[in-house]
Amino acid sequence: MFLHHWEPQMTDIGIGIIGTGYMGKLHSVAMHSVATVFDTPLRPVCEMICATTEKGAAAKAKSFGFNRSTSDWRVLVNDEKVEAIVIASPQETHLEIAKAAFALGKPVLCEKPLGASLAESRAMVEVAERSNVTNMVGFNYIRTPASQFARRLIDSGEIGDVTYFRGEHTEDFFADPQEPATWRTTGRSNGTMGDLSPHMINAAMALIGPIDKLCADIETVHTQRPTDSGMQDVTNDDHAQFVCRFSNGVMGHLYFSRVATGRKMGYIYEVFGTTGAIRFDQEDQNAIWLYKREGEVAQQGFRKILTNTDHPDYVNFCLGPGHGTGYQDQITIEARDFLHAIHTKQPVWPTFKDGMMVNQVVAATWASHEKQAWVNVDSL
């Protein structure tokens, strides 16, 4: 669960970040700002950053505000001043880095998805639990003040008993069939099921609970894409969907797409209950729509609630209702949770095990598509 207040007792903690791409930069900014935003007892010191070349790493260290740099993740992990590690490198690197860090007793925040396969994520869970060292997975969208509030509404019974969940993660960065082939168009782990689906699967499980069984369909819409030398086959998926039953009996439907024309950040969910309903859209991330079946029928309807200082974590960023938080702020909240877990020596959701359960649903989706049949998630 999210929580997050404690009495400050300031202690520096050396942070190492592996990966200097999009997420590496965001985690760097978060580690620089989190102690100021949340007045955390652990005060991050950006000690070392790792990129693929020494020159590139040095440039990023200067740009991102790190004391030192390296092109070898092993150097970073073994450095005595690096006390906690953020893995923001490609999925196939996650397992070995995590194993090395846990062997030294160093906490790890790993970007999603956890490892390059379900087998790797299970191995990561095993080593994390055996070492009894703090571990978290980087699912940040569910941490918006609005989605945290939605979670509280559902858990407190404000919309009655939940009867149905619909979620999607839809974008359009490959909607144009003439968009050139890239690394994103090869390899199953880089397709929509590997890239976008984990976020909404994570949201569904956070809001409703574990998924028991599902029936899925997966498709590559644009089977070839242009390159400088001609056309190249696309070897992964463009969009996918499944219907499901959650373990508590709730019915659900999830859809994921990178070819959803017009959608830029369609992280959207609807939750129906016996006395009310909730709607959320990440493209309008500072608002939530709430329906409660009460009062005169003529006045019933969805009402838009703008996030404000009464919603989780909002007040740390701004005091004005409706002014809003942004994507970087989600990463900063995540950094606070990671530091909280380290400081209290208590797990904070989502742990590696929670990340593995998302990967298990992804694997079940592929298995269902290949069998064209319902699949029990626990069978994978």
Q: Give the chain's mean pLDDT.
A: 96
User: What is the enclosing helix (H) or strand (E) of 280?
Assistant: strand 276-281
Tell me the residue length of the chain: 380
Q: Do 182 and 235 reside in the same domain of the chain?
A: yes
The candidate with the shortest Cα–Cα distance to 59, out of 69, 46, 47, 72, is 69
Alpha carbons 52 and 19: distance in angstroms, whole number: 8
pLDDT at 162 over 90: yes
Q: SS3 sequence, 206-259?
A: HHCCCEEEEEEEEECCCCEEEECCEEEECCCCCEEEEEEEECCCCEEEEEEECC
Q: Is residue 161 part of a domain?
A: yes
Alpha carbons 332 and 287: distance in angstroms, whole number: 19
Q: Do 54 and 123 reside in the same domain of the chain?
A: yes
Q: Write out pLDDT tens, residues 328-353.
A: 999 999 999 999 999 999 999 999 99
Q: Give me the amino acid identity at 283.
A: E
| Domain span holding position 68 | 11-139
Name residues whose C-beta falls within 8 Å of residue 29's C-beta, 6 or more positions apart in sequence: 64, 328, 331, 332
Report pLDDT for 9. Answer: 53
Report pLDDT for 5. Answer: 43
Q: Do 44 and 190 reside in the same domain of the chain?
A: no
Report pLDDT for 4. Answer: 44
CATH number for the domain harbouring residue 189: 3.30.360.10
Alpha carbons 74 and 135: distance in angstroms, whole number: 19
Q: Is residue 233 part of a domain?
A: yes
Q: What is the mean pLDDT of residues 198-226?
A: 98
> What is each CA distance from 188 to 58, 117, 201, in whole angstroms?
32, 10, 17
Longest dimension (CA), the chain: 67
Contact call for residues 255 and 217 (beta carbons, < 8 A): no
Q: Is 141 helix (H, G, I), strand (E, B) or coil?
A: helix
Higher pLDDT, 10 or 104: 104
Q: Do 211 and 121 reside in the same domain of the chain?
A: no
Q: Is residue 337 part of a domain?
A: no
pLDDT at 1 over 80: no
Alpha carbons 182 and 212: distance in angstroms, whole number: 35
Q: Do 129 and 104 reside in the same domain of the chain?
A: yes
Q: Do 162 and 81 reside in the same domain of the chain?
A: no
Q: Do 302 and 284 reside in the same domain of the chain?
A: yes
Q: Is residue 347 part of a domain?
A: no
Q: Is residue 331 part of a domain?
A: no
Q: Do 172 and 282 reside in the same domain of the chain?
A: yes
CB atoms within 10 A of CB 74: 12
Q: Is residue 114 part of a domain?
A: yes
Q: Is residue 2 part of a domain?
A: no
Alpha carbons 356 and 228: distance in angstroms, whole number: 38
Q: Indicate the pTM of the whole model.
A: 0.94
CATH number for the domain harbouring residue 76: 3.40.50.720
Domain end residue (candidates: 139, 154, 172):
139
Alpha carbons 326 and 336: distance in angstroms, whole number: 16
Domain end residue (candidates: 139, 171, 194):
139
Q: Please tell me the total count of domains within the chain.
A: 2
Alpha carbons 97 and 293: distance in angstroms, whole number: 51
Q: Do 228 and 120 reside in the same domain of the chain?
A: no
Name residues whose C-beta falls within 8 Å of residue 204's C-beta, 6 or more positions apart in sequence: 165, 167, 211, 246, 252, 254, 269
Domain end residue (candidates: 124, 139, 154):
139
Q: What is the mean pLDDT of residues 50-74?
A: 98
Q: Do 223 and 155 reside in the same domain of the chain?
A: yes
Q: Is the peptide bond before 113 cis (omega within 30 degrees of 0)?
A: yes
Q: Is residue 154 part of a domain?
A: yes
pLDDT at 52 over 90: yes
Q: Do 303 and 183 reside in the same domain of the chain?
A: yes
Q: Do 229 and 364 reside in the same domain of the chain?
A: yes
Name residues whose C-beta falls within 8 Å of residue 62's C-beta, 6 or more positions apart in sequence: none
pLDDT at 3 over 70: no
Print burial letters for 204-224: b (CB count within 10 Å at least 16), e (below 16): bbbbbeebebbbbebebebee
Percent of the chain with pLDDT over 90: 97
